[in-house]
């Protein structure tokens, strides 16, 4: 057993990312020390703090890891889960660094985690824990608009981000940029329209782009385009839910959805909004009238399909089930859903894997837009919407006069429309995902790199190297 392997024979999560990094390093000629620096986690803050729950004092374990300071602030979500541990948070922070570099988001990677099960704790107590965690971060200068900016992740959402902002503001009263200390806030609290669905929409844009490349589709024996593709989505949290909705709306067929309690299957396709309504009313996706139940949720990953989207937690595809995976394309909506051993097995089978460090970067991309909005103190589109509409109207009038033809009211409505915040956010996200995809593919081709993951790492590491080279090393 190598020193990197634990008793079960599997690698630690951080070692998995190091393996991917090392594969990419073969394509980069640079001083070894610089690569070591890029790989290492710069700061790890592990804390324990007491919280009074009822009459008892509970000790809570929590983390904030800043993987890289080559760009500031650091950026990354905070997760609430009983599985939180130092190795996991370090790895997720590292993934954030690579992710941000790929999509040209000028942040270093970070991640936070609190070891609690939010499903078994009252919202009052979650609030207490969140506020206490935030004050611990403030004490150690681990949060701030130019320092480190958290966001939602597994088990957290807008509600928690609001509490973080409120706690920050009350301890840093008068800071005019305080709103930019956290992203993923509700729109009424300085959030940006389109953040909630951003990761799922980014996943959709990335997979759609792949499905338009004839060469890739030929290699897995599929037609070009998303329409009619059979998709399985594992995990119906914020990311899986929105990804499923966008795929469904685009004409793809969602044949199975998997959650903790089990999965549901219908080869003719599931009506995603109906499934969500069923989930809301019953607290479970099981027993959906138009589908078959699959009791063992992990079995859903092994069903025949064109595209598999793991959108929950890490390491769900491993050496023991990789051989049974029948998907032709895997889109990593979750962070690290495939272990390195499974990656090699799937690569040999010819499966196309769209890697997490590119595919789920939509969330942090729109977080970047939110941060910029908070620092500029104005809603996107507020200054130019009406101006654009007026210019468009004048333009239309000239066209009507020159062409001696009237344009219909419906057509006019479409053309006259000035950009709203949601339009700008979505088009910015779409552009980012399309560009990222083609940069990875171009590099893969030009350096003859074996797969998209390694190409994505090469792209990302090269950008970080460039930053270090231009910055120099202090002192």
Catalytic residue annotation: 111
Find the shortest distance in angstroms from Cβ 341 to ligand GLU.
Answer: 23
Figure out which of the listed residues 38, 364, 429, 433 binds ligand GLU, where binding follows CB under 6 A: 364
Strand partners, 331: 354
Residues touching ligand GLU, count (CB under 6 A): 11
Q: Which of 277, 103, 298, 351 is nearest to 206 (CA)?
A: 103
Strands (E), 16-103: 43-53, 56-66, 74-80
Phi, psi of 203 (to 5 degrees): -60, -45
Residue 381 sits in the site that holds ligand GLU (CB under 6 A) = no
Helix intervals (H) in 103-197: 123-139, 158-171
Subset of 58-87 contacting ligand GLU (CB under 6 A): 75-77
Phi, psi of 424 (to 5 degrees): -70, -40
Residue 245 sits in the site that holds ligand GLU (CB under 6 A) = no
The answer to whether the annotation marks 199 as part of a ligand binding site is yes
CA 404 centroid distance within chain:
50
The contacts of residue 297 (CB under 8 Å, 6+ apart) are 234, 258, 259, 260, 261, 262, 263
The answer to whether the annotation marks 238 as part of a ligand binding site is yes
Residue 155 sits in the site that holds ligand GLU (CB under 6 A) = no
Q: How far apart are CA 453 and CA 358, in angstroms?
A: 9
Q: How far apart are CA 195 and CA 177, in angstroms?
A: 19
Residue 108 sits in the site that holds ligand GLU (CB under 6 A) = no
Residue 355 sits in the site that holds ligand GLU (CB under 6 A) = no
Residue 360 sits in the site that holds ligand GLU (CB under 6 A) = yes
Q: Are 365 and 205 within 8 A, CB to CB?
A: no
Figure out which of the listed residues 126, 151, 272, 286 binds ligand GLU, where binding follows CB under 6 A: 151
Pick the closer one to ligand GLU by CB: 342 or 364.
Answer: 364
The answer to whether the annotation marks 99 as part of a ligand binding site is yes
286-294, 358-366, 408-416, 465-473 -> range binding ligand GLU (CB under 6 A): 358-366
Find the shortest distance in angstroms from Cβ 421 to ligand GLU.
Answer: 17
DSSP state at residue 172: S
Pick the closer one to ligand GLU by CB: 245 or 335.
Answer: 335
The answer to whether the annotation marks 75 as part of a ligand binding site is yes
Q: Which of 469, 475, 467, 458 is nearest to 70 (CA)?
A: 467
The contacts of residue 62 (CB under 8 Å, 6+ apart) are 46, 47, 48, 49, 84, 112, 113, 114, 115, 133, 136
Figure out which of the listed residues 130, 134, 234, 367 binds ligand GLU, where binding follows CB under 6 A: 367
The answer to whether the annotation marks 139 as part of a ligand binding site is no
Pick the closer one to ligand GLU by CB: 272 or 334.
Answer: 334
Q: How far apart are CA 61 and CA 212, in angstroms?
A: 46
Find the shortest distance in angstroms from Cβ 382 to ligand GLU.
Answer: 23
Find the shortest distance in angstroms from Cβ 151 to ligand GLU.
Answer: 3
Pick the closer one to ligand GLU by CB: 75 or 278.
Answer: 75
Phi, psi of 255 (to 5 degrees): -90, -25
Pick the closer one to ligand GLU by CB: 431 or 450.
Answer: 431
3-state secondary structure of 454: helix
3-state secondary structure of 427: helix
Name the residue number minimizing CB distance to ligand GLU: 77
Residue 345 sits in the site that holds ligand GLU (CB under 6 A) = no
Binding-site ranges for ligand GLU (CB under 6 A): 75-77, 151, 153, 183, 335, 360, 363-364, 367
Binding-site positions for NAD(+):
199, 238
Binding-site positions for substrate:
75, 99, 367
Binding-site positions:
75, 99, 199, 238, 367
């Amino acid at each position: 057993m190598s020193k990197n392997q634990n008793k079960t024979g599997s690698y630690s999560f951080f070692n998995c990312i190091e393996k991917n990094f090392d594969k990419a390093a073969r394509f980069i000629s640079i001083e070894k020390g610089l690569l070591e620096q890029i790989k290492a986690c710069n700061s790890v803050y592990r804390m324990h703090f007491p919280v009074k729950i009822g009459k008892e004092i509970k000790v809570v374990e929590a983390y904030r890891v800043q993987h890289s300071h080559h760009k500031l602030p650091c950026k990354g979500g905070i997760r609430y889960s009983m599985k939180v541990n130092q190795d996991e948070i370090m790895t997720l922070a590292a993934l954030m660094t690579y992710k941000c570099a790929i999509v040209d988001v000028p942040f270093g990677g970070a991640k936070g985690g609190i070891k609690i099960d939010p499903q078994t704790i009252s919202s009052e107590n979650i609030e207490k824990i969140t506020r206490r965690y935030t004050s611990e971060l403030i004490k150690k200068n681990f949060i701030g608009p130019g320092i480190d900016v958290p966001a939602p992740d597994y088990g957290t959402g807008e509600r928690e981000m609001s509490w973080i902002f409120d706690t920050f503001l009350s301890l840093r009263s008068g800071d005019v940029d305080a709103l930019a200390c956290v992203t993923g806030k509700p729109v009424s609290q300085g959030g940006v329209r389109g953040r909630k669905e951003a990761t799922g929409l980014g996943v959709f844009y990335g997979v759609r782009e792949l499905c338009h490349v004839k060469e890739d589709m030929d290699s897995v024996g599929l037609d070009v385009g998303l329409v009619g593709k059979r998709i399985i989505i594992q995990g119906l949290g914020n990311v899986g839910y929105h990804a499923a909705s966008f795929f469904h709306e685009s004409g793809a067929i969602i044949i199975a959805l998997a959650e903790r309690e089990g999965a549901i299957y219908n080869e003719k396709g599931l009506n995603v909004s109906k499934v969500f309504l069923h989930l809301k009313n019953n607290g479970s996706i099981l027993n959906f009238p138009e589908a078959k139940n699959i009791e063992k949720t992990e079995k859903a990953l092994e069903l025949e399909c064109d595209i598999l989207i793991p959108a929950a937690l890490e390491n769900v595809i491993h050496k023991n089930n990789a051989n049974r995976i029948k998907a032709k394309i895997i889109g990593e909506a979750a962070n690290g859903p495939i272990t390195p051993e499974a990656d090699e097995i799937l690569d040999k089978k010819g499966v196309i894997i769209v890697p997490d460090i590119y595919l789920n970067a939509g969330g942090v991309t729109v977080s970047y837009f939110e941060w910029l909005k908070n620092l500029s103190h104005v809603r996107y589109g507020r200054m130019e919407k009406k101006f654009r509409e007026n210019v468009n109207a004048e333009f239309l009038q000239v066209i009507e006069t020159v062409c001696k033809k009237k344009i219909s009211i419906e057509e006019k409505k479409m053309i006259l429309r000035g950009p709203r915040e949601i339009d700008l956010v979505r088009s910015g996200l779409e552009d980012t995902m399309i560009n990222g995809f083609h940069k990875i593919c171009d590099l893969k081709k030009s350096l003859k790199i074996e797969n998209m993951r390694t190409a994505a790492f090469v792209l990302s590491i090269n950008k970080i190297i460039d930053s270090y080279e231009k910055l120099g090393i202090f002192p």
